[in-house]
Amino acid sequence: MKLEEFLKTKGTDEQLTRLIMLFSKQAANIKAGFLSARGAVDTQNVYGETQMALDKWADEILIAALRESKLVSWIATEEQPDIIEVEGAVNPFGITIDPLDGSSLIDVNLAVGTIVGIYPGHVLEPGNTMLGALYILYGPLTTLTYTTGSGVHEFVMGEDGNFTLMQENLTIPEGKIYAPGALRKDYLPYHKKFIEQLELEGYKLRFSGSFVADVHQILHKGGMFTYPAFAGNDTGKLRLLFEGTPMGKMVIEAGGAASNGKGNLLDIKPTAVSDRIPIYIGGKKEIALIESYTKDSGT
């Protein structure tokens, strides 16, 4: 079944359907940049303009499409310093976008993705107010995974750029994969204890450097992803709005959990679009374990 038909069958709000379709339509355009915008940073085009790196390229494609559609009032992206307000928007929706996540892997042709959070209004609100979230993964296949609060569903892009249903109602299984960011030498005591416990239980290491790809794998195979707070950095590296909440929402809707180590990631109200936060995303069992260690440590 095609994505648009599936959204209709599910009784998805019409404006939300249009928005999800808009992102699906941009996937092929972004992919085209993998050839044309590859390795083009700091060079000039024939017109003497500085050419774009792929994440800038993806950013501009998505912002242009959203502006033209007038489907959302607010656009926050990882590549823009300020939230964009769309004049004459037909919906009060706010959107957060990480246009290209895992961009350090582009030059080695590993999986990267686009992550989107959808809010009923302004985006500086806790993740639990989100209407939905989606991500597009550019791997050997291009897939789109979305939730609007009634299941997590996955689609694959065909040669014509349209998406077809691959898996309905994804649920995170039990599994023994761990994807730990940051350097081991900088682990804080409660985090060190957590990672050592997983290792003792035979969890296998899988960390690619692409958050979206790593969480996608956890969603399908179980286990957990973390980019924790570490020595000298109490927020970790990843961003609450662009990475944490949308992927957290996805995994929670699939029966898993997402935390900052102390409590639900989606309960946290951002103070600024650029907020960073420690992230633990995965199975309920693993997230409960880190929260118990954090609590015991009095952190």
Q: Where does this chain bind Mn ion (CB under 5 A)?
A: 78, 98, 100-101
Amino acid at 246: P
Enter the DSSP assignment of 206. Answer: -
Per-residue binding letters, 10-49, with ligand AHG (x by CB under 6 A): ----------------------------------------
- How far is residue 59's CA from residue 279's CA, in Å, rounded to a whole number? 24
Which stretch, 97-105, 125-133, 255-263, 286-294, contacts ligand AHG (CB under 6 A)?
97-105
The nearest distance, CB 180 to ligand AHG, in angstroms, is 9
Residue in this structure with the two tokens 């940049």, named with its chain if needed: 33
- How far is residue 165's CA from residue 219's CA, in Å, rounded to a whole number? 17
The nearest distance, CB 219 to ligand AHG, in angstroms, is 15
3-class secondary structure, 134: strand
Q: Which of 80/264 has CB closer to Mn ion?
A: 80
Asked if 181 is part of the footprint of ligand AHG (rule: CB under 6 A), the reply reads yes
**Subset of residues 64 to 93 that bind ligand AHG, contact rule: CB under 6 A:** 78
The nearest distance, CB 210 to ligand AHG, in angstroms, is 5
Could you tell me which of 122, 41, 128 has the C-alpha nearest to residue 84? 122
The nearest distance, CB 100 to Mn ion, in angstroms, is 5
Asked if 210 is part of the footprint of ligand AHG (rule: CB under 6 A), the reply reads yes
Q: Which of 161/209 has CB closer to ligand AHG?
A: 209
Asked if 117 is part of the footprint of ligand AHG (rule: CB under 6 A), the reply reads no
Pair 209, 180: CB distance under 8 Å:
no
Residue 157's φ and ψ, nearest 5 degrees, are -80, 135
Query: For ligand AHG, which residue has the nearest CB?
Result: 211
209 binds, among Mn ion, ligand AHG, none (CB under 5 to 8 A by kind): ligand AHG
Residue 112's φ and ψ, nearest 5 degrees, are -130, 175
Tokens of 224: 């957990």
CA-to-CA separations, 77 to 5, 66, 115, in angstroms, rounded: 29, 12, 10
- How far is residue 78's CA from residue 16's CA, in Å, rounded to a whole number? 22
286 binds, among ligand AHG, Mn ion, none (CB under 5 to 8 A by kind): none
Applying CB under 6 A, which residues contact ligand AHG? 78, 98, 101-104, 181, 209-211, 227, 237
